[in-house]
Amino acid sequence: MEIIFATHNQNKLLEVQALMPSHIKLISLKDLGFEEDIPETSGTIAGNAIQKVEFLKDRFKQPIFADDTGLLVEALNGEPGVYSARYAGEQKNSDDNMDLLLKKLTDNNHRAARFVTAIALNLGHCQVLFEGICEGTILRERKGTKGFGYDPIFQPNGFEKSFAEMSLTEKGTISHRAKALLKLIDYLKEVN
């Protein structure tokens, strides 16, 4: 089965490809020569995932899925949330985003956070939504060099290291994206 993964983020593409069964071939937007920015103007994470699929489904006329992820920090009333990628500005710079988040939490000992991923799938005339959540803590400093986004400052509950200190395989067993993706994969098995 071939399915389009609607992302321009190559790190995310690698993470998702590592979790996909071999019988599912991912086609990236880069493979399709699609360079346009996809709108993400919804007020919710799920809404952004749906918006991406809606934006692309009529252009390519084949199965397609898109995701959106947000980091929600309790002490900041859910910030950065839907603005996670551009928390420190439209340049979408991960280092700037982490710097701003750490600055806002400088003197705060309440550092509970969660990653939430929503995946919207368009399969023919059917649209389905899947969600994955990973609870954790915001660290006081960056740890590790793997991963992307907020991975160096997010430590999942029950672990002594950040996402950025984990291998792709280890992260792939517990992450928010992996949880949502496994629901998608199970659904695809049922409909095929």
Positions marked active-site: 68
User: Is-contact 132 184, C-beta < 8 A?
Assistant: no
Q: Where are the domains of the chain?
A: 2-191
pTM of the model: 0.91
Mean pLDDT by runs of 10 across the 192 residues of the chain is 89 85 89 90 95 91 93 97 92 94 95 97 91 98 93 97 93 92 92 76
At residue 14, φ and ψ (nearest 5 deg) are -60, -40
In 28-175, where does DSSP find H-type helix?
Answer: 45-60, 94-104, 168-174
Can you name the CATH fold of 2-191?
Maf protein (3.90.950)
Tokens 């954790």, located at residue:
136
CA-to-CA separations, 4 to 19, 24, 69, 124, 184, in angstroms, rounded? 15, 10, 18, 13, 13
The set of residues, in sequence order, having a beta carbon less than 8 Å from that of 54 and lying 6+ positions away, is: 122
Q: Please give the pLDDT value at position 190.
A: 86
